[in-house]
Structure 1
Amino acid sequence: MAVTTPEAGRPVSWDEYDALPEDPRVEYVDGHLLVGPSPTRWHQELCIDLLTALRAALPPTHGVITAWEWRTGTDAFTPDVMVYDTAAATDERRFTGTPALCVEVLSTNRRDDLLLKMTKYAAAGLPRYWIVDPRERTLSTFALDDGAFRPTHVLRPADGAVELDLGVARLRLDVAALLAP
């Protein structure tokens, strides 16, 4: 039986998940659907601003994209922003390699980004993870260290312009401009 309307928490098989249309904002974790509402305008603007800044800093071997699915073994996530090796981008529907960086912008279900995804992303070997918190106006950066993420920065608008290590490049980012409401 195909799932046509995603229902949060409903157990589904990979085949049912894979048959979903493009439109729903759905992720597949531990055999269950994570269904989220459409992002807010500010959420989308943050993603576009990050995409623009990252694109300018990346070498030609890497791309950056918003809301493209990343398959990590048996799970499928849709990071808000993802930096990836273009040579490993062989599937148009989803990325199956390991990204250089995933960024999540917190929204209604903060638990998923702060706990579930952080744990799953670390287990999948993601080297860098960033969390933008519009409510607290912070950008928290993490680096994978011995199988778990360790915090590297908690940045606020007062920090101004900072330089961040992407692993594949360095990014000069104006935190005040990024987090301005």
Structure 2
Amino acid sequence: MSQALTKSITFDEFIEWYPENFEVRYELHDGVIVERAKPRGKHSRVTGFTINHLNIAIANLNKEDIWFIPRESIVKTSVGKSGYEPDIIVLDEQALIHEKRWESESIIEIADSVKLIVEVVSTNWRDDYSKKSADYEEMGIQEYWIIDYEALGGKRFIGAPKQPTISVYHLIDGEYIMTQFRNNDQIISPIFPTFNLTANQIFNAHL
């Protein structure tokens, strides 16, 4: 479960503080450090399975020389009061030349560097559905997926009765348009038209 460390700090203070060796992950939410457990078990399986198939989709688009999935990175929001470490992020190598802090600190500040961000939902579902979607939209991130394999999200986000859902947010005219996929729905991604999986294949991931 997420735990907030309540002293308000700046993004640069957060980066300076960030420990090199850690058993948990940390993010900065509106100036407050939030502790997040590292992915375990099925969360890790779903994440790894999705990464594998995103890499296949990248290859099928002939983008493997310029699009890649880093092991880790931190996305600094537009107002600079938050910094998120996505479960999955697809970056554009060609755009990274404009990222002044990428090589030394793995920090992303420019939306054009990002092709896709994916969050796999855990107990922090409110952050994924509300805060992060709003911040990524404001930044201009082209596409954002929320994979909610345990249907943890609130009914206002995934409907009632709740069921496992993948929400794909795509930026059009500066606003996210959201499409949801369940059961045997084929995932439709404007950025990754070659991503060839159903929702259930992701929910039942086997590496």
Deviations, residues 40-59 of structure 1 (Å, cap 9, x unaligned): 31111111111100011111
Match of 1:78 in 2: 85
Q: Secondary structure at the match of 1:165?
A: coil
- Structure 2 residue corresponding to 1:120, chosen from 135, 147, 160: 135
Q: Secondary structure at the match of 2:54?
A: helix
Match of 1:144 in 2: 171
Contact preservation (8 Å) 1:11, 1:32: yes
The runs of at least 4 aligned residues of structure 1 exceeding 3 Å deviation read none
Q: Secondary structure at the match of 2:118?
A: strand
- Structure 2 residue corresponding to 1:97, chosen from 110, 116, 134: 110
Question: Structure 1: where are the runs of 5+ without partners?
Answer: 1-5
Match of 2:122 in 1: 107
Match of 1:69 in 2: 74
Deviations, residues 23-55 of structure 1 (Å, cap 9, x unaligned): 241112322222212223111111111110001
- Counterparts in 2 of 1:169 and 1:96: CA distance versus 1, 3 Å: farther
Contact preservation (8 Å) 2:187, 2:199: no
Contact preservation (8 Å) 2:11, 2:83: no
Match of 1:16 in 2: 13
Question: Structure 2: where are the runs of 5+ without partners?
Answer: 152-163
Q: Secondary structure at the match of 1:47?
A: helix
For 1:171, the aligned partner's letter is: F
Whole-Å separation in 2 of the counterparts to 1:27 and 1:51: 21
Higher percent of residues as strand: 1
- Counterparts in 2 of 1:168 and 1:151: CA distance versus 1, 3 Å: closer
TM-score (norm 2): 0.74
Contact preservation (8 Å) 2:74, 2:84: yes
- Counterparts in 2 of 1:156 and 1:168: CA distance versus 1, 3 Å: closer
- Counterparts in 2 of 1:163 and 1:37: CA distance versus 1, 3 Å: closer
Whole-Å separation in 2 of the counterparts to 1:80 and 1:66: 9
Whole-Å separation in 2 of the counterparts to 1:21 and 1:167: 34
Whole-Å separation in 1 of the counterparts to 2:115 and 2:11: 25
For 1:118, the aligned partner's letter is: S
Per chain length, whose mean CA-contact separation is higher, i.e. which structure has more relative contact order (CA < 8 Å, sep 6+)? 2
Whole-Å separation in 1 of the counterparts to 2:140 and 2:128: 16
How far the C-alpha of 1:177 sits from its partner, in A, is 1.9
How far the C-alpha of 1:66 sits from its partner, in A, is 5.0
1:179 correspondence with 2:203: yes
Match of 1:50 in 2: 50
Larger deviation, residues 169-178 vs 41-50: 169-178
Contact preservation (8 Å) 2:169, 2:178: yes
Length, aligned pairs only: 173
Q: Secondary structure at the match of 1:111?
A: helix
